[in-house]
A and B are shown apart, each in its own frame.
Chain A
Amino acid sequence: MSAPATPLLTVDGLRVASVGGERPLPLLDGVSLTVAPGESVGIVGESGSGKSLAVRAVVGLLPPGTRVTGGDVRIGGTDALALGPAARHALRGRRVTLLMQDPFTMLHPQLTVGRQIADGLRTARPRGRAARAERRAEIVRRLTEVGLEPETADRYPHELSGGMRQRVAAAAALAGDPELLIADEPTTALDAANQRAVLDLLRGLQRGRGMGLVLITHDLRVAFSACDRVYVLYAGRVLEHGASAALESDPRHPYTAGLLASEPSVRERYAALPAVPGFVPAPGERGTGCPFADRCAHVAPECRTTDLTLRPLPGEDRSSACLRLPAIRGDLTAERVPEPTPEVAEETAPEEAPALDVRGADRVFRSAAGDHRALRDVSLSVPRGTVLALVGESGSGKTTLARIAMGLETFDRGEVTVGGLALPAGARPDVADRRALAERAQIVFQDPYASLNPLRTVGATLREALVAASGKQPRARADAAVEKLLAQVGLPAAYARRRPAALSGGERQRVAVARALAARPRLLICDEAVAALDVSVQAQLLNLLTRLQREEGFAVLFITHDLGVVRQIADRVAVMYRGEIVEQGSTARVLDAPAHPWTRRMLDGLPQSAGAGTASGAADA
């Protein structure tokens, strides 16, 4: 790492603040990092860490209402912050380029793929037949570089899958042959099967071209699999920095260690995930000292009073901001007690009234654009008191099935029985059926920001659910019941007076769980209920759900795309692909010995540990 050459990128003490409010709120508080030519560097952090802001400040594309308030950014020796808008614009695409998260919105929907790549090429607009042919050949070469067929050049973005779009976006970003590619969560919006392919592609491109790569991600595994070095950001500060392999096997900051331990593993199940308590403090609520102090198990008084500095560790090419490192070094790696994945029979035993029983369900969505068969002859059963995970890529029909079971969506054919209550085919359930359904099944939705009525307090939301389930009751008794529900999901009773806006994402999901529990359902459907949460908060919620399931004995239909979560929580797994259940069985069997090629592809698509990334740029799309 001690490259004598000028680094591609040097960021020194960078400060960014939001300037909209009464006083500026610091969002980034002195972030320093370097990227050498031909090196790949990861920036890892949960939401609110400021990782995206840092690179947006580098390329001069900060969102409105934020401003650089200090520090230094040098791109190849040029002071980027001193440049005017035109000069900065000239830097983008040629020296630095940005690859965004969402492959569905970052391409121009009305231009062909070829046109979008051509726009970034350095050569002038072609004149004459020969020049045009040459340009066409160049576009084809660029497409081949990212593993796409030449014909893709004439297609429009909407004709391509998410993974293919991300490849096109990479080709377009690289058209100007930049020295540094910054990729902001490039795999987050992709299905499991595509994640590793895109990471391998980026890694391959970076090595093949000898360019620098900065990869921003919330997922430590992703960073480890594609980067030489990793910076761990938290609440606008760098807490730890070092080589991927060293960080993965031997973290030197409690936060990094906590993140690693919170991550469910697809290979092993644990008695409980050692979740980091609490959540990232909001800007403006970060006191002096270490921003992680409030959540740290090793906190000491001096952590809150001493200014945070990232110190190089003697004799090692890495640094940590933890004051107490010498004292706690041995205790950093949290104990995770492995637990055998439950042994259950391959087939579900026939039962009197299973929590959910679906037989041969079909659902076709008709529209002017054509029919979409969301469910094809789907059969599955969730026995009472068991956890079934339903996995599959986005658009495979998982959510449609959940909505049908909740009476929010109709089905065309087949039988759907919830706790012995048969739902009518082809029609929404009537009021009586919906009441009966409410005490049998409840649902927790994915988006914590949409699942609570923003105008009602937490208490009002929970009281309403209680009254709906067991009728009107005196206020004092309802309040006691609300308090009990909040306690069950690990929230203080005072939260009853809060509105959703004053709650973090994880807390909102807890309230959503409490609302579902108010009806004392026999089946709880979790539709990607932890997918939108940060890893450390996700672990808290998984632990909570596991505990509640054991205590209350309800059955769970857990819809997810995350196989690590499946291993951690499920007794059985059903794999869905394009509206069909392609594989079903015990969690241990499906994850350890998958039978269907699609299941194998999903398992292979997971990012591999450090060094395992291959340089194949032409993996299947």
Chain B
Amino acid sequence: MTPEAVAPPAPHRRRSRSPLAVVCTAVVALLAVAAVAGQWLLPGWADQDLATGVSMPSAAHWFGTDELGRDIAQMVVAGARSTLLGAALVAVGSMLVGNVLGLIAGYHGGLADLLVRRWADLLLALPALLVTIVVAGIGGGGYALAVGALVVLTSPADIRLVRSAVLEQRHRSYVEAAQTLGLSRTTVMLRHIWPNVLPVVVANTLLNFAGAVVALSSLSFLGLGVPPGAPDWGRMLSENRTLLYDNPSAALVPALLIIVAAVALNLLGDRLFEAFTDRGRS
């Protein structure tokens, strides 16, 4: 055998960052800071000033105040927590359920696959938001119940996604080669298949996150999410819509934030999804 001419490793080319992706990342980062530290940074969000009552935006109150004289600007920052953390919980919870059930169904097949698929089909046939409203209504509302119901109802799409991604990988030669080495099925599943499925899962979780922001805000708007008085974008939108002529920003700012958060997360998720599927193809 003649020694081979050794080529240097191909330089790893980074894809050029689009300005849109940078903006989306910045928005999501800002929202994350507000969600984690907002109530701690602005402890004055709950201060009422009944003498002032509702007021238009001013130098003292950038977005004006609500009926109780609370500062809207501070409230929306404080309100990021319930909207975003709850939505993040929904997305992560659904991802976990989807990964476990999707991996088992996709890799083992047979009866496990049949049962998981029927379960996912059943849940998919239910209108998620309506069921959550009914469940929350019967259970007397409450934030935890709403988040739990959304996890259960978001997961079937994740189960299907993971299952099909696993099926795609399962017959690749590298998976079969791992099987013929005599490795256990669990090892093959967790060490070889799962890491190659993960990128798609992560991207999808961002999309679920965006959906959950909207869903949770809707529930709060309907009075089924956070308790009254709590800072929450959906709740603020619902309570302040009567102030549209006195201080439009009291309702419009939280509404706008719901839209901005959902759009930024969606675009970021889409971009990640494309980047990952692109990589898989080349």
Residues of A within 8 A of B (CB): 21-22, 275, 277-279, 281-282, 285, 294-295, 406-408, 431, 434-439, 441-443, 445-447, 450-455, 464-465, 468-469, 490-492, 498, 501-502, 504, 512, 515-516, 519, 540, 543-544, 547
Contact = CB atoms under 8 A, between A and B. Distances in A.
Contacts of A278: 4-5, 7
A519 B178 CA distance: 12
A21 B13 CA distance: 8
B195 A455 contact: yes
B181 A468 contact: yes
Contact of A498 (B3, B9, B177, B182): B9
Interface stretch (B48-56, B168-176, B221-229): B168-176
Given A22-B13, A450-B174, A455-B195, A437 B7 contact: no
B196 to A, nearest CB: 6
A279 B179 contact: no
A22 B16 contact: yes
B180 A431 contact: no
Contact of B177 (A446, A512, A544): A512
Contact of A437 (B2, B178, B182): B182
B173 A450 contact: yes
B182 A451 contact: no
A501 B10 contact: yes
A295 B5 contact: yes
B8 interface: yes
* A-B CB proximity, top 6 nearest: A438-B182, A278-B5, A445-B173, A451-B173, A435-B182, A502-B9
B1 interface: yes
A439 B10 CA distance: 35
Contacts of B185: 431
A375 B3 CA distance: 42
18 contacts: A277-B2, A281-B7, A406-B176, A431-B184, A434-B179, A436-B182, A437-B180, A438-B181, A438-B182, A443-B177, A445-B176, A451-B172, A451-B177, A454-B196, A468-B183, A502-B9, A502-B10, A540-B2
Given A277-B4, A295-B5, A544-B1, A453 B10 contact: no
Contact of A490 (B3, B9, B179): B3
Interface string B1-36: 111111111100100100000000000000000000
Contacts of B192: 453
Contacts of A455: 195-196
A406 B180 contact: yes
A408 B6 CA distance: 35
A442 B181 CA distance: 8
Contacts of B177: 443, 445, 451, 512, 515-516
Contacts of B183: 464, 468
Contacts, number: 101
A491 B3 CA distance: 8
A285 B180 contact: no
A285 B3 contact: no
B1 A490 contact: yes
Contacts of B2: 275, 277, 540
A519 B13 CA distance: 36
B7 A282 contact: yes
A282 B182 contact: no
Interface string B190-233: 01100110000000000000000000000000000000000000
Interface residues of B, number: 29
Contact of A452 (B1, B7, B174): B174
Nearest to A518: B181
Contacts of A408: 176, 179-180
A447 B193 CA distance: 18
Contacts of A22: 13, 16
A446 B176 CA distance: 12
B9 A407 contact: no
Contacts of A281: 7
B1 A540 contact: yes
Contacts of B176: 406, 408, 443, 445
A490 B173 contact: no
Contacts of B7: 278-279, 281-282, 285, 504
Nearest to A448: B173
Contacts of A464: 178, 181, 183, 191
Nearest to B185: A431
A465 B181 contact: yes
Contact of B3 (A21, A277, A454, A502): A277
B67 to A, nearest CB: 55
Contacts of B6: 492
B180 A438 contact: yes
Nearest to B175: A453
A285 B8 contact: yes
B198 to A, nearest CB: 9
A464 B183 CA distance: 9
Contacts of B195: 453, 455
A615 B157 CA distance: 59
Nearest to A454: B196
Nearest to B181: A468
A442 B1 CA distance: 23
B126 to A, nearest CB: 30
A451 B192 CA distance: 12
B180 A443 contact: yes
Nearest to B282: A501
Given A442-B180, A450-B172, A468-B181, A282 B3 contact: no
Contacts of B181: 438, 442, 464-465, 468-469, 515, 519
A127 B191 CA distance: 65
Nearest to A441: B180
Contacts of B172: 450-451
A547 B191 CA distance: 33
Contacts of A445: 173, 176-177
Nearest to A460: B191
Nearest to B176: A408
